[in-house]
Amino acid sequence: MSINIPDTNQKRVVVIGAGFAGLSFAKKLAKQDVQIVLIDKNNYHQFQPLFYQVAMAGLEPSSISFPLRKLFQGKKNVYIRVTELLHLDRKKQEITTDLGVLHYDALVIATGVDSNYFGNEELAQKTIPMKSVSEALYLRNAILTDYEQALVTPDYEERQGLIDIVIVGGGPTGVEVAGALAEMKKYILPKDYAELDNQEVDIYLVQGASCLLKGMSENSSEGAKRFLEKLDVKIMLNTRVVGYDGKFVSMKDGSKIRSNKVIWAAGVKGVKIPGMDDTMYNRSCRMLTDEQCKVIGTKNVFALGDIAAIQTEALPYGHPQLAQVAIQQGKFLSKHLFKILEGQCSSTFKYKDLGSMATIGRNRAVVDLPHFKFKGFFAWLVWLFVHLFSILGVKNKVMVFINWIWNYFTYDQSLRLIIKAKNPKKDQQEA
């Protein structure tokens, strides 16, 4: 079975993944005389840095998602297929998907990474990750459903399980989620759930390292810690989570926390592709590439973004897994792809560090720029501007901006809907 892509005289470049890296590459390459097949399991691009705001009912999913077909309207050389990569045959230069087989002249893998549970199957099964819009919606439903249930739960211990939340991982995602939850506790619960004592709600941030935001400066790390402590977040450093049975979170030191919800933000790893040798991956399952983004041991397979690792003496584990790295790699490869394939390119990828940042609720953020580090209200404004500018689509930018302005002045969000998908045919059959 074929994916039904027309054969032309153009070179066919297949791109796996429509995240920051894949989209950046495809948008630039689409201007050239080449056939592009963009494959993703969703028909939209997801703006991952704002997943937590969807989970906290601050934004709707449509505000941070952008349809791929709309993005490439008018580009007759771009074909989009909603499917998943199942196998790669490098000798035949073919990929197998659940839609069929497709030949390529060049293959670009930008699949991103998945949550890393460090081999703990119990944590993988029972904690809540946040690597997609659907997972963010699931978390939103879980939080709001448990608040509703807590209203009719007289037993204190059982009620604590419903309203207390544990976040595992003190990186940018964990810090931002903790700050958003703390603000929900402070501003939203007294309005929507006045029958609940919001002082009973405990938010725990568990970090295995000795500081938060480990990849950022000490100034930002300490600033984030102080901001969260002012919001009454209980920070547990040098603490490792080893188990979760659905009711109690177990730590390595033997202590436990009662909670029905555990948000997992403690690390990521790549997912291996059948057909790729194990020697092509590092210990984090990132694909090893040369400095031109070509996968080691291949002639026309490339990797971009979080899944790729250009390991050098200066970067023994590869570049940081940031959106800016992915975007810059996509632009680099789109410019030099065919020269690299012909062996006529001497350019190598050079990452320009534009800085990193994290927000901790309203008026609070930390920003690390190459030569300047700051925190507080101005950092928060910078964070807002950068993220708003990065969102695809004018309509999406406007909707996000309106939501942020409304939330800022009203201390309210008005998006707290519990929306559960139902299958009407299944309901009829059960009836």
Active site residues: 176
Long-range CB contacts (< 8 A, 24+ apart) of 376-384? Answer: 376/223, 382/357, 383/357, 383/358, 383/359
Residue 145: partners with Cβ closer than 8 Å, 6 or more residues away: 418
Burial of 305 (0-12, 13-18, 19+ CB in 10 A): buried
Q: How far apart are CA 89 and CA 87, in angstroms?
A: 7
Largest CA distance in the chain: 72
Strands 203-206 and 234-236, bridge-based pairing: parallel
CB 133 within 8 A of CB 61: yes
Burial readout 363-401 (b: 16 or more C-beta within 10 A, e: otherwise): ebbbbbeeeebbbeeebbebbbeebeeebbbeebbebbe
Q: How far apart are CA 138 and CA 144, in angstroms?
A: 10
Q: How far apart are CA 405 and CA 384, in angstroms?
A: 11
CB 106 within 8 A of CB 341: yes
176: left (phi over 0), alpha (psi -120 to 50) or beta: alpha
For 117-129, give the DSSP string: -TT-HHHHHHSB-
Q: How far apart are CA 327 and CA 424, in angstroms?
A: 41
Q: How far apart are CA 185 and CA 32, in angstroms?
A: 51
In 153-231, where does DSSP find H-type helix?
156-163, 172-183, 189-192, 218-230
| Count of other CB atoms within 10 angstroms of residue 415 | 16
